[in-house]
Structure 1
Amino acid sequence: MWIHLSSKWQQEDQKCREGVPLKDMDWSGMVSQFYMDSSLHGLQYVGQPRRHFVERIFWLLSFGTAVTCATLLILEIWEKYRVTPIITVFQPEATPINLLPFPAITICNMNDVKKSKAVEYQRYNQQHNSNAMAMNMLPSGGILHGRKENAEMRIIKNSTDPHANQDLYMLHHICEASPTFTDFFNLSQKYDSIPENVIEPVRKFRRNLPPGTGWKYGRGVSQVVRDVAQKCKEMILLCLWGGKVHQCSSLFSDIETNFGHCCVFNMVPINLLMNLPNDIRDDKVRITDWDSLNLDTDNMILDNEFTFETEYKQIYGNLPKFPRRQRRPGKKTGLSILLDAEMDDYFCASTDSVGFMALAHLPLHLPDVENKGVPIKPGTETYLKVEPDVITAGPQIKEFSIEKRKCYFGQEYSLKYFKYYTKSNCENECVANVTNLNCSCVRFYMPRSENHHICGLSKRNCTESLLNRLFEDGLEAECPMCLPTCNDIEFKVSSTYAPLRQDIPLWEFKNGTQASWYIFISTCTKFSQG
């Protein structure tokens, strides 16, 4: 019997080796022949006649399992491609620094209100209110609460002048609107604030105003913020750009941010960045130069052939002045400035420390100094190294819908308050709209129309709780339309410092505490989307 079976298997093997016409095979023979001739691993063992049926079943199940797993993996990859067809990869070749814009640099003193301005505002309030009773008056006219226990101070019993009261109330609002870390734990001694017995008559006057005659904040708040803060010419004393001496006023301009009044370098003028506000401080020549560029995030990064600059020179006869670009990496070709903190003139600050807050951002962005700023210590020589991460989009991804690629090209989405679309600007506009919807006002630094009211001190709890909720829950749910741009630059900042020499006088400026500051681009990392 064994010999007979062996002979039968040999005959089957010989048929498999020599081949048999299909017309002479039944269906099982054809299947067996396919298994034997297949290059798929495992199937040939299923078709071999000499294999035990248990072994055949094992290989058949193994093959089926492999096919099932491969199918599941393919479906998973296909679903991933269907949902996110765009991939971002690291681009190994170097990107020349001169193809990138130098970041906009926003610098803010941590002091929101100068002590000299606080004294001036109280004196103005005292001089323009009648029926005042002299009571505990400071010889210097100062209003620093808690500095001297037996200090005398003048208290207004019947405040009647609306302008004087408005200014003092706004000054109080500025100080109270930026709580520090210690304020959250009631640890602050309120040394630098307007005493309650001074501000309470002002509040009483405001409460007694007839309905419909409330104070107009609007520009008034912004003007007070600018007036009581340190001016750019007082903060920034000396400037070097690209290894050449410049007048600081030609490099820096004023701006109001969520951190207060600040100075900014290499940023689009507010009159061009925003659709509605008209800031008279913007230099008209600078506005014209920026406006001639017709910039967006797509042409902010130059190509290797400098096509944009070449075309600009053909039209205007010279290379564009803005955005300023660092021609090669390193400290000498970057921005170097000398800052004065005026530490003796601190009154109320946004932090519990002294010094400056700085931020490097895209020139098209409204700066978010409060959340992303880097502190600068007075009395030091600080080096701020900027490393750009560049994301560029291949032309082929334009064929995908916005829902699939999840990013915008330069002019694909328009904002109401901003002329330039970026994700940051879109989120700022969205937060302003949500704030106005819930609190019937917006904060002074938020984008707005002329019809929007500026939130006063009475709306502080509403805006604070709303902003905390938005940032805790994430802006994606509230602002789903705010997608990133397909071409973008993110600036990563790292800083180091060393103390300034004290054995010799370094500067001719006698008063204040200075800090030297160097900002430069070192290296660039580029990513490509496609």
Structure 2
Amino acid sequence: MVNPSDNQDGKFPVDPIKPRKKYPSFFRNVIQYIYEYSENSTVHGVKYIGEKKRTATERFFWLVILGLSLYFCTYMIIKTYEKWDKSPVIVSFARSPTPIWEIPFPSVTICSETKSRKSVFNFTETIMKFRTYNNLTDEERDKLDKVALVCENHLFHQGSDFIKYDTIDFLTEIAPPFVESLWQCKWLNTNTTCNDLFTPMLTEEGICFSFNMLDRDELFSNEVYHNKDYLAHGVRAEDWSLEKGYSEKLETDTFPRRAISAGQKAGLSILLRAYDYDLDYICRGPVQGFKINLHHPAEYPLVSQQYFRAPLNQEVIVAVKPDMMTTSDGLKDYEPHRRQCYFPSERELRFFKVYTQQNCEIECLTNYTLKACDCVGYHMPHTEDTKICGSKKLVCMHEAQVSLLKNQVEYGLKKSGSNDEDSSDRYTCDCLPACTSLIYNAETSQADFNWQKVFESYKVNFSEFPGVQMTRVTLFFKEQQFINSERNELYGHTDFFANCGGLLGLFMGFSVLSVVEIIYFLSLRIICNIRKYGHHFWSGSADLVHNDAYDHKRR
């Protein structure tokens, strides 16, 4: 080791020290601090960028590599976020099957194609008289105006704008009576009075009859005006809801009714009846018989849109397969439009107490029709002071329905072609499915119903049944159990951060400790150095470091 005091005569060679550039003290400290971080950083590539002995070419190379890695890592994280944001839900099958006794037996709504019995009011004769001579009496014109509401809507538009107070009573009077249409009923292989099972109700198909449907006070809100004669059976649902199902304390005999097994003996059988002399082939067209709609007990039926036929003199066998969708509680924190469904507490309807997609669509159509036509259909839920459309408004009602459907399609197309999520431009109705939904799919088969041969075998006098036509319908669950579907999280918060961490680790060697390391160098380490060296950390620490290196080199 050479002491400078021993080299006064110049006998020892001394390496010349190049004078270093003069930088401001603070700037030199910052550069030295960056060098120190790069030497200790756990992020891949940073070490070579800050290493003092590296050439400019090497530093540029590692800067490019680090920049490309950061670019691809950021790009993939953004794609992962978009997938998590737009498609957070995955639909899968449940882990175990559900027994059919855990769900209600389907509600069955039956509508006769005979809207006006010829023996009471001959619609065919009256409409032909109007078209040929146009000289109806006031009474005939008034009746034609009322019946046109339940016939094909293109037949008569020259009536009144709004119905009269006795219109529903008249439609009930001319329709096939309850005891005539539903002759015999059998539930769970036991003969039962049809009055105990079915309830009259108003639909867009006129007067129909429903089985296993909630009472009107449980289905509609207090704001809805009720006709006392329809959908009022007085039987209340006992600890049942669509989301929670049946309470465990309930017995098998409960309401809504549920099947105890699969197969014909645990189902519903109905013998329907019509009379040939009462059939009207102009009001509803050439196909006579009955329309049947299956739905769950808390849903208002749309018979004209979803039905299967039960023709006259046919036996129809209906094997029911339920299709149920549930949603995990982990999705409750997501916005409804992200998960594409509503929980009961998230969407309240004005006219219905239970939210379903179909109930929402009916309410939306009601509001749209009221706005477009200044009235609603007689079958739509409404308040007591709402006007009810007459036959003159049938065209307006039809155009309102078509316009509403077009608006929804146009919005869907607009939304699919744009990433704009403006909350003011939601769906026209915004009727997302309920997070718990239940649909009944029907597999039907039919054969000739030779009831006449049976009557002949029993020596029954046919004069007691002049012109009678009969149809038998049997409904039952096809299988003892079914597999329902579940909405679950595709990417939860844990999955999203795990994917981001994996990408950061793959491209950058980055981890949570790397973040802590950066925060440490920007905060705690500086604070501790200031406490240790005082103001010299910012004004002269780099000079001290340089002097230490100078002294070490001389020695």
Measured against aligned partners, the alpha-carbon deviations of 1:153-177 in whole angstroms (never above 9, x if no partner) come to x99979567xx75334312444352
Match of 1:298 in 2: 243
Query: Could you say which structure has the greater relative contact order, defined with CA pairs below 8 angstroms and 6 or more residues apart?
Result: 2
- Matches for 1:326-405 after TM superposition, within 5 Å: 326-347=259-280, 348-405=282-339
Aligned residues: 419
Matched, 1:101 2:104: yes
Measured against aligned partners, the alpha-carbon deviations of 1:242-262 in whole angstroms (never above 9, x if no partner) come to 111100111011111122221
Match of 2:527 in 1: none
Q: How far off is 1:517 after superposition? A: 0.9
Range with bigger deviation, 333-342 or 520-529: 520-529
Compared with structure 1, are the counterparts of its residues 405 and 171 closer, same or farther at alpha carbon in structure 2 (3 Å cutoff)? same
Aligned to 2:355, which of 410, 421, 439?
421
C-alpha distance in structure 2 between counterparts of 1:410 and 1:68, whole Å: 44
Compared with structure 1, are the counterparts of its residues 436 and 294 closer, same or farther at alpha carbon in structure 2 (3 Å cutoff)? farther
Match of 2:365 in 1: 431
Match of 1:220 in 2: 166
C-alpha distance in structure 2 between counterparts of 1:495 and 1:249, whole Å: 26
C-alpha distance in structure 1 between counterparts of 2:445 and 2:314, whole Å: 10
Q: How far off is 1:343 after superposition? A: 3.5
Compared with structure 1, are the counterparts of its residues 465 and 62 closer, same or farther at alpha carbon in structure 2 (3 Å cutoff)? farther
Q: How far off is 1:478 after superposition? A: 5.4
C-alpha distance in structure 2 between counterparts of 1:489 and 1:144, whole Å: 42
Structure 2: which 5+ runs fail to align? Answer: 1-34, 46-56, 412-425, 489-555
Contact 1:92/1:526 (<8 A) preserved: no
Match of 1:525 in 2: 483
C-alpha distance in structure 1 between counterparts of 2:325 and 2:392, whole Å: 43
Match of 1:45 in 2: none
Amino acid at match of 2:361: E
Aligned to 2:79, which of 51, 59, 76?
76
Compared with structure 1, are the counterparts of its residues 396 and 380 closer, same or farther at alpha carbon in structure 2 (3 Å cutoff)? same
Q: How far off is 1:73 after superposition? A: 4.7
Compared with structure 1, are the counterparts of its residues 115 and 144 closer, same or farther at alpha carbon in structure 2 (3 Å cutoff)? farther
Compared with structure 1, are the counterparts of its residues 397 and 331 closer, same or farther at alpha carbon in structure 2 (3 Å cutoff)? same
Amino acid at match of 2:226: N
Measured against aligned partners, the alpha-carbon deviations of 1:176-222 in whole angstroms (never above 9, x if no partner) come to 52x5xxxxxxxxxxxxx89xxxx9xxx6xx8xxxxxxx886265332
Measured against aligned partners, the alpha-carbon deviations of 1:389-436 in whole angstroms (never above 9, x if no partner) come to 111122222233434434222243222212222121111111111101
Match of 2:27 in 1: none
Measured against aligned partners, the alpha-carbon deviations of 1:224-282 in whole angstroms (never above 9, x if no partner) come to 32222222221111111111110011101111112222111001123432232223225
Q: How far off is 1:309 after superposition? A: 4.0
Structure 1: which 5+ runs fail to align? Answer: 1-25, 37-52, 123-141, 147-153, 180-192, 207-213, 303-307
Q: How far off is 1:495 after superposition? A: 0.7
SS at match of 2:468: coil
Compared with structure 1, are the counterparts of its residues 62 and 332 closer, same or farther at alpha carbon in structure 2 (3 Å cutoff)? farther
After TM superposition, the score normalised by the length of structure 1 is: 0.68
Measured against aligned partners, the alpha-carbon deviations of 1:452-482 in whole angstroms (never above 9, x if no partner) come to 1111122122111121222244377653432
Amino acid at match of 1:529: R
Percent identity, please: 25
Compared with structure 1, are the counterparts of its residues 174 and 100 closer, same or farther at alpha carbon in structure 2 (3 Å cutoff)? closer
Contact 2:201/2:230 (<8 A) preserved: no
SS at match of 1:365: coil
Match of 1:495 in 2: 444
Contact 2:213/2:297 (<8 A) preserved: yes
C-alpha distance in structure 1 between counterparts of 2:72 and 2:116, whole Å: 67
- Matches for 1:3-402 after TM superposition, within 5 Å: 72-119=75-122, 143=126, 145=128, 159=137, 166-177=142-153, 179=154, 217=163, 219-274=165-220, 275=222, 276-281=224-229, 286-287=233-234, 289-290=235-236, 293=238, 295-299=240-244, 301-302=245-246, 308-310=247-249, 321-347=254-280, 348-402=282-336
SS at match of 2:292: strand
C-alpha distance in structure 2 between counterparts of 1:389 and 1:169, whole Å: 41
Compared with structure 1, are the counterparts of its residues 171 and 502 closer, same or farther at alpha carbon in structure 2 (3 Å cutoff)? closer
C-alpha distance in structure 1 between counterparts of 2:296 and 2:95, whole Å: 23
Contact 2:203/2:379 (<8 A) preserved: yes
Contact 2:272/2:471 (<8 A) preserved: yes
Amino acid at match of 1:457: S
C-alpha distance in structure 2 between counterparts of 1:521 and 1:86, whole Å: 30
Compared with structure 1, are the counterparts of its residues 322 and 502 closer, same or farther at alpha carbon in structure 2 (3 Å cutoff)? closer
C-alpha distance in structure 2 between counterparts of 1:461 and 1:367, whole Å: 22
Compared with structure 1, are the counterparts of its residues 64 and 115 closer, same or farther at alpha carbon in structure 2 (3 Å cutoff)? farther
- Matches for 1:477-496 after TM superposition, within 5 Å: 479-496=428-445
- Matches for 1:452-471 after TM superposition, within 5 Å: 452-471=386-405
After TM superposition, the score normalised by the length of structure 2 is: 0.65
Contact 2:96/2:483 (<8 A) preserved: no
C-alpha distance in structure 1 between counterparts of 2:373 and 2:171, whole Å: 21
Amino acid at match of 1:518: T
For the pair shown, the structure with the greater C-alpha radius of gyration is 2
Q: How far off is 1:34 after superposition? A: 9.8
SS at match of 1:272: helix
Compared with structure 1, are the counterparts of its residues 519 and 66 closer, same or farther at alpha carbon in structure 2 (3 Å cutoff)? farther
